[in-house]
Amino acid sequence: MDVHESDEPLIAGYDSVVCDLDGVVYRGADAVPDAAESLQGLVARGVRVVYATNNASRVPAEVAEQIAGVGAPATPSDVVSSAQAGAARLAEVLDPGASVLALGGDGVDAALRDAGLLPVSPGASDRELEGVSAVLQGYGRQLRVRDFETAARLLTTGLVWVASNDDATLPLPWGQSPGNGAYIDLLATAVQRRPDVVGKPHPPLYRLALERLGTDPARTLAVGDRLGTDIVGAQAAGLDSAWVLTGVDRPTDLVAGSASPTYVLSSLADLLRPYAVPTPDADGWRCGGARVSPGADGLRIEQDGAAAIEVVRAGLAALRVLRDEGGTAEQLRRGAEMLERVLDDAGPTPLR
Ligand SMILES: [Mg+2]
């Protein structure tokens, strides 16, 4: 929707939220500041919240437990996973009770069962594997080389192949580990074709979330920290999106890509506040008390006691115009780095 200044909290324009998890609600074992209280606040207002996760390895009850563990409201039915979206896709094309190779963690197995299909493990007997009519591939830490050989053997015969998500990497405390996308590439190299992928940024996971919510897409807001998955996926599914700066992506990632979030939030608490909208002003942009204009060496920032997030909204608006008018990648990056410094100076929740 077009965003206008209002005295109402941002969330007043929506009936429901599809919320990402890592980098939005928690980071590993830690709670993201303000997230749990804000989600409680949304539910208290009557807003429906579901959590859409590309993580296919865990079962919804386990995910809900982690969400509740940081103090946010969640039951297993509030969790919509890419494994569930994959199983739903297969249930559309297979007969009820059909056997599917479950190449992934417990979440893949459970999703197939819940969708009325029969999961078959890669370690099953040849007789059981013979009856398989599709492969559902999701991340599974217990998978072994032999399991991928079994999947390749089945896929070579032309079976339906659905993958939960194609995230190339999986962030772990020490850095980046291969994600499900890397394991898809491994199989694709062998079988010379690619799967149908259902997780973000592909629309099926958001569509399943909408089905679960039963709300009007025009009154549903997608919230996430990753531009290339959460925000691009929301755009593909036709949903308004809020990019929250508590996770991995930063202003330099926005100017380097093509995602265009409807809102930019310092934390989920901004959902419960009026949204200061950036507006053009002579040669620059104004947002709340902040004013930002393009300068010879990046951006000219007049913060004047304004909130850091207001500087960032005005600055990103200025950088988007610069991008459209042929600004160089170097100019865009330099401007975005200035905004990142404003965020860093403001601390973990860059509101004040
Ligand atoms: Mg995330």
pLDDT, tens only, 241-300: 999 999 989 999 999 998 999 999 999 999 999 999 999 998 899 999 999 998 877 899
Check whether 16 has a pLDDT greater than 70.
yes
Nearest residue to 197 via CA among 179, 171, 175: 179
Residues 163, 104 share a domain: yes
The domain total for the chain is: 3
Q: How far is the CA of 317 from the centre of ligand 1 (A)?
A: 23
- The answer as to whether 71 is a domain residue is no
pLDDT for 352: 36
pLDDT, tens only, 88-111: 999 999 999 999 999 999 999 999
Q: Which amino acid, residue 125?
A: S
Residues 94, 170 share a domain: yes
User: Of 218, 243, 268, which closes a domain?
Assistant: 243
Q: How far is the CA of 162 from the centre of ligand 1 (A)?
A: 22
Residues 289, 227 share a domain: no
Q: Residue 302: which pLDDT band, with cuts at 50, 70 and 90? A: very high
Q: What six digits make up the tokens of 315?
A: 């600055």
- The answer as to whether 45 is a domain residue is yes
- The answer as to whether 261 is a domain residue is no
- For 321-345, letters b (16+ CB in 10 Å) and e give ebbeeebeeebbbbbbebbbebbee
Residues 192, 94 share a domain: yes
Q: Which of 2, 7, 15, 20 is catalytic?
A: 20
Q: Residue 349: which pLDDT band, with cuts at 50, 70 and 90? A: low
Return d(Cα 97, Cα 91) in angstroms, integer.
9
Q: Which of 15, 22, 34, 78 is catalytic?
A: 22
Residues 221, 176 share a domain: no
Check whether 350 has a pLDDT greater than 60.
no
Q: What six digits make up the tokens of 280?
A: 């053009």
Residues 131, 95 share a domain: yes
Mean pLDDT of 114-132: 97
Helix axes 60-69, 106-114, angle to 10 degrees: 120
- Cis bond upstream, residue 201 (ω within 30): yes
- The answer as to whether 215 is a domain residue is yes
Is 106 a residue of the active site? no
pLDDT for 298: 84
Q: pTM of the full predicted structure?
A: 0.93
Q: Counting runs of H as helices and runs of E as strands, what totals does the chain give?
A: 12, 19
Nearest residue to 57 via CA among 24, 23, 84: 84
Residues 125, 147 share a domain: yes
Return d(Cα 103, Cα 108) in angstroms, integer.
7
Check whether 142 has a pLDDT greater than 70.
yes
Residues 182, 209 share a domain: no
pLDDT for 81: 97
pLDDT for 297: 78
User: Of 180, 197, 214, which closes a domain?
Assistant: 197
Residue 45 burial (CB count, 10 A): 12
Q: How far is the CA of 104 from the centre of ligand 1 (A)?
A: 20
- The answer as to whether 352 is a domain residue is no
Is 20 a residue of the active site? yes
Residues 192, 173 share a domain: yes
Check whether 33 has a pLDDT greater than 70.
yes
For residues 155 and 161, is the Cβ–Cβ distance under 8 A? yes
- The parent domain of residue 287 ranges over 276-346
